[in-house]
Amino acid sequence: MELFLKTRPLCPKCFYVKLHFVMKKVMAEKNRRRKGIYILPLAFFVVFSLSFLVGRYPVSPFTALKILFSRALSFFSFERLSLSGWSGSEEAVVLNIRFPRIASASLIGAALSVAGASYQGIFRNPMVSPDLLGASTGAGFGAALGILTGGGYFAITLSSFSFGLLAVVLAILVARKSRIDSTLSLVLAGVMISSLFSSGTSLIKLMADTQDQLPAITYWLMGSLSSIKMKDLIFAFFPVVIGLIPVILLRWRINLLTLNEDEAKSMGIEVKKMRLIVILSSTLMTAGAVAISGMIGWVGLVIPHFSRLIFGDDYSITLPSSAFLGATFLLLVDDLARIVSTAEIPLGILTSFVGAPVFLFLILKGGRRNEA
């Protein structure tokens, strides 16, 4: 359209012919991008299925498929129907170890990506990530505190989730007391709260026992799915889904929140109310994900950029596509963590190795495009 507007004046007939051609081309490109989103569920399903074959204990594809089908059949028939033909160890590996881990990776990847895309939309800043308001650092402090006090696994997870929510609530309360611009005050409050909780985590690490507690805190902060159980998946499922539903239902309104606040209000959008709903929903997703996985960076920052690069800036498409891309990406990273070495590399390290160069490439590519 910009090139069209910059061309020399045309006669009225030629003008409308060229305008029709340009608009037809724009609509065709938009429809092509919309159709491309249907490929993402298929790619996710393929990666999800192949992930059951990754691991030190060999399980054939057919056996894994039969075990999963038998469990689904048993569940929907209320334990009256089931299949057999595999060993108890194979069933334990598929159902008790790999399924919770694979499902959790999918859930966490989708949650962090959608939360990151939502934050980038409402704050109108592509550099924003889900931990902007302190959800991740608060969750990290909660987990470190749980480990320091000798809490069990569930207590640590619950403490992490609670402090993740608390950090964002504190940031919102501080921002509401401020007299400066609401968006800027919220960002500054988030930075302040994040700094406080990060300092608290450092203090806990200083106080922790160097033999047992400090290694556990350090490993948790690097992010991993190696100890995920079914109860962890259930724990994270509800806050993630509760946060995901309103964001997906209101995704077209996020397009309006990317406009100037006055423009959004003129279109009938209650900006402060909508922003609060999106923030709280994204916080639920982030806190639920971080509580069971630890701090996994870059997913919520890089994946939304990929989604916009492929499908454009329409959030009605960007959010669903970010969910599938994030789930697929974290599945692939987790598969890599399981096969790259005998001692599993924490996911936070791998996502940084993958995310940082990719993000740098996107920045450089965007810069060249602007120069052109």
Q: List pLDDT tens digits, range 154-206.
A: 899 999 999 999 999 999 998 888 777 677 888 889 999 999 999 999 999 99
Assign 35 a pLDDT band (cuts: 50, 70, 90).
low
| Residue 124 forms part of a structural domain | yes
pLDDT of residue 143: 94
| Residue 215 forms part of a structural domain | yes
| Residue 354 forms part of a structural domain | no
Instruction: Assign residue 324 the CATH number of its domain.
Output: 1.10.3470.10
Average confidence (pLDDT) over 205-216: 91
| Residue 227 forms part of a structural domain | yes
* Domain interval for residue 300: 103-340
CA distance 321 to 307: 6
Please tell me which residue, 45 or 28, carries the higher pLDDT value.
45
| Total number of domains in the chain | 1
Average confidence (pLDDT) over 330-339: 91
Average confidence (pLDDT) over 236-248: 93
| Residue 56 forms part of a structural domain | no
Greatest Cα-to-Cα distance within the chain, rounded to the nearest angstrom: 81
Residue 370 has pLDDT above 90, yes or no: no
| Residue 313 forms part of a structural domain | yes
CA distance 30 to 283: 31
* Structural contact between residues 121 and 258, judged by C-beta atoms closer than 8 angstroms: yes
Q: Which residues of 102-119 are buried (b: 16+ CB within 10 A; e: fewer)?
A: bbbbbbbbbbbbbbbbbb
pLDDT tens across 131-162, in order?
Answer: 889 999 999 999 999 999 988 888 999 999 99
Distance of CA 245 to the CA centre of its chain: 14
Burial group, residue 14, by CB count within 10 angstroms (0-12, 13-18, 19+): exposed
Residue 52 has pLDDT above 70, yes or no: yes
| Residue 48 forms part of a structural domain | no
pLDDT of residue 262: 72
Please tell me which residue, 354 or 34, carries the higher pLDDT value.
354
The overall average pLDDT reported for the chain is: 83
pLDDT of residue 31: 58
End-to-end CA distance of the chain: 15
CA distance 5 to 233: 53
Residue 20 has pLDDT above 50, yes or no: no
| Residue 238 forms part of a structural domain | yes
